[in-house]
Amino acid sequence: MNAIDMVKTMMTALQSGDMELAANTMSDDFVLRGWSPAELNKGEMLAMQSELLSAMPDFSYHLRDLEEQDSLVTGLMRVTGTNTGDLSLPMFGIPLIQATAVSIELPQVRTEFIVQDGKVKEMMVEAVPGGGLAGLLQQIGGELPVLPRLDNSDIRRMDKMDEANIDSR
C-alpha cells in the first residue's frame, strides 16, 4: 500500500469508528501535532476520536487533494459534524459537554502526514484561529481549560530539575 492509501485508510477508519484498523495503520510512536494544545500519542488520539464519534456520529475529516513526496503526504482537511451526543474529554480536563445539536464546521487546514515503514508516524495539523479542538469546542459551547501561569520560582525549579536529569544520564 502506498503512503496516500495508508493515510486514506487511517482517516477513513478513524471517522468510521474502526479503531482497530486505525491503530494498525499507525506506528507505535505515532504523534498528532497541532490539533490540540499538546501533542497526542497513538492511544490518546484513538481515545479522543472515540469520544468525538460518540458525541458526533457524523464526524468527518473531509480530507482531499492528497499529494505524496517521499514519506510526506500533504493535503487539506475540513472537519465537520453534528453534536448529537454528550462530549466527554477528561484527558483535557474538560467537563462533560451536553449534546447541543449544533453542526460544526472547522476552517480548512493544511495537514501533513509522515509515513514510514508502511505506517503513519505523524499527523501535523495546521493551527489556525477557530480550528482544531479549541475551535470545535467553541462551536458547541465549551472551551479548553486555561493552563496555570508559571511564576519565576516555578521556572527556576523546572530548570533545576532539567539540569539534574541531564546530569544523571
- C-alpha–C-alpha distance, residues 74 and 87, integer Å: 29
Is the pLDDT at 164 greater than 60, yes or no? no
**Mean pLDDT along residues 68-72:** 92
- Delimit the domains of the chain by residue range: 3-167
Mean pLDDT of 32-45: 93
Rounded percentage of the chain residues whose pLDDT exceeds 90 = 72
Dist. CA 78–CA 106, nearest whole Å: 6
Does residue 43 have a pLDDT over 60? yes
pLDDT band per the 50, 70, 90 thresholds, residue 147:
very low
pLDDT reported for residue 37? 84
Record: fold of 3-167: Nuclear Transport Factor 2; Chain: A, (3.10.450)
- Contacts by 154-163, CB closer than 8 A, 24 or more apart: none
Across residues 79-108, what is the average pLDDT?
Answer: 91
Please state the rounded mean pLDDT for residues 98-110: 94
Is-above-0.85 flag for pTM?
Answer: no
b/e sequence 111-122, b meaning 16+ C-beta within 10 Å: bbbbbeeebbbb
pLDDT at 165 (0 to 100): 45
The pLDDT score that the predictor gives to residue 27 is 97
The rounded percent of the chain whose pLDDT value lies above 70 is 83
Q: What pLDDT is stored for residue 78 in this prediction?
A: 96
Q: At residue 23, does pLDDT exceed 60? A: yes
